Amino acid sequence: MDFEHKSVMLDEVVAALDVKPDGIYLDCTLGGAGHAKAIGERLDERGLIIGIDQDEDAIAAATENLSDVPCGGGIAHGNFSELDKILNNFGIDKVDGVIFDLGVSSHQIDTAERGFSYMHDAPLDMRMDRRQNLIAYDVINRYDEDRLIKIFREYGEERFSKRIAAAICQARKISPINTTGELVKLLEKNIPHTKNGGHPAKRIFQAIRIEVNGELEILESSIKKAVDRLKIGGRIAIITFHSLEDRIVKETFKSLAQGCICPKNFPVCICNHKPTIKILGKAKTPTLDEINFNSRAKSAKLRVAEKIGERELNRNF
Ligand SMILES: C[S@@+](CC[C@H](N)C(=O)[O-])C[C@H]1O[C@@H](n2cnc3c(N)ncnc32)[C@H](O)[C@@H]1O
């Protein structure tokens, strides 16, 4: 199978994880295994790379791509929200590094019949995991108007959410909206073209995709689970592609890196809250060269943190 995807910030991720030849690494968003392979190539036969993806196409491509790495490995078809169960199934307790490269792959976007792209006419699907029942058709044809407005506002940050939701509800009274092409036509009629705003359908497609795949609600808890599974000194690297994801990653890292959370007017600490990570620098963005080579990297942000232990805690507090 052809699986086209250019891995984003590949060198930066490998450097951020400080890959040790005998380490155990977990790739929560395996895709075509671009990042996993770069990590796997730096491991020796004592090392292990574990990959998770909810898309069976990714599993097939990654299995092939990882077939010649020198280390051991394991691949799981599942959601990274289940990373505890997956690591337990592989008999793994703690890992040296975790990568999340969030969102969809170019393969998913460019496979027209998956319905992720507003550039191709296809059935309204947008599932990363084709075993699940909810598809984009259900969101567009079955959600009530208020729910559509909320999704478009929260997940698409779309100014014209009300107008668009009303137009969708009006149109579907006459006949169901079956394809991405029909939806795009309706959006084009209802979202004014702006010079720098990109394609009018972009934000609404993002919102529907996030809803169909439940992308945001599992993120904070999954990051916390991954941090729990890190060895002391282990690293977590997360690449996001839009501000909603990035905000969750930033806030989750901040809360995990925070010490006492008692109200400021408490004379002594009673919460006993201890930081579990330290944040390594600010968010990094791709170089101009990378963006010129791969325009889909444009909005990427990489955040990195390291698990800390008692010794480090005593040094810091
Ligand atoms: C940007 S691509 C990863 C590309 C990969 N890093 C590479 O270099 O080839 C994101 C992948 O994560 C998968 N994915 C997104 N959310 C997921 C989740 N909650 N659980 C499992 N896989 C997920 C998608 O199916 C997609 O294949």
**Structure confidence at residue 260 (pLDDT):** 87
Tell how far the Cα of 199 is from the centroid of ligand 1, in angstroms: 24
Backbone torsions φ then ψ of 7, nearest 5 degrees: -65, 135
223-270 residue pLDDT tens? 999 999 999 999 999 999 999 999 999 999 999 999 888 898 998 889
266-290 residue pLDDT tens? 988 898 889 999 999 999 999 999 9
Q: Which ligand 1 atom is nearest residue 107's CA? A: 27
| DSSP code per residue over 275-317 | --EEE-SSPB---HHHHHH-GGGTT-EEEEEEE--HHHHHHH-
Backbone torsions φ then ψ of 302, nearest 5 degrees: -110, 125
Band (pLDDT 50/70/90 cuts) for residue 5 is: confident
Site residues for ligand 1, CB cut-off 6 Å = 5, 7, 29, 31-35, 52-55, 58, 79-80, 101, 103-105, 128, 218
DSSP 8-state code for residue 33: S
Tell how far the Cα of 91 is from the centroid of ligand 1, in angstroms: 23
**Structure confidence at residue 261 (pLDDT):** 87
Contacts of 134 (CB under 8 A, 6+ apart): 127, 212
75-91 residue pLDDT tens? 999 999 999 999 999 99
Order the strands of the 277-279 sheet from edge to edge. 72-77, 48-53, 24-27, 95-101, 230-240, 301-307, 277-279
Question: Per the structure block, which two tokens stand in for 74?
Answer: 């394991």
Q: Is 193 helix (H, G, I), strand (E, B) or coil?
A: coil
Q: Are 87 and 93 in contact (CB under 8 A)?
A: yes
Domains of the chain: 10-103+217-316 (3.40.50.150), 108-213 (1.10.150.170)
The percentage of residues in the chain with a pLDDT greater than 90, rounded to a whole number, is 88
Q: How far is CA 195 from CA 14, 198, 199, 200, in A?
A: 37, 7, 10, 11
Q: Are 243 and 237 in contact (CB under 8 A)?
A: no
What mean pLDDT is reported for the chain? Answer: 94
229-241 residue pLDDT tens? 999 999 999 999 9
Band (pLDDT 50/70/90 cuts) for residue 4 is: confident
Residue 217 pLDDT more than 80? yes
Residue range 28-34: mean pLDDT, rounded: 97
Residue 171 pLDDT more than 70? yes
96-109 residue pLDDT tens? 999 999 999 999 99
Is the whole model's pTM more than 0.85, yes or no? yes
Band (pLDDT 50/70/90 cuts) for residue 317 is: very low
Residue range 34-55: mean pLDDT, rounded: 97
* Residue of 17, 50, 21, 23 whose CA lies nearest to 36: 50
Q: Are 141 and 176 in contact (CB under 8 A)?
A: yes
Tell how far the Cα of 222 is from the centroid of ligand 1, in angstroms: 14
**Structure confidence at residue 99 (pLDDT):** 98
Tell how far the Cα of 193 is from the centroid of ligand 1, in angstroms: 31
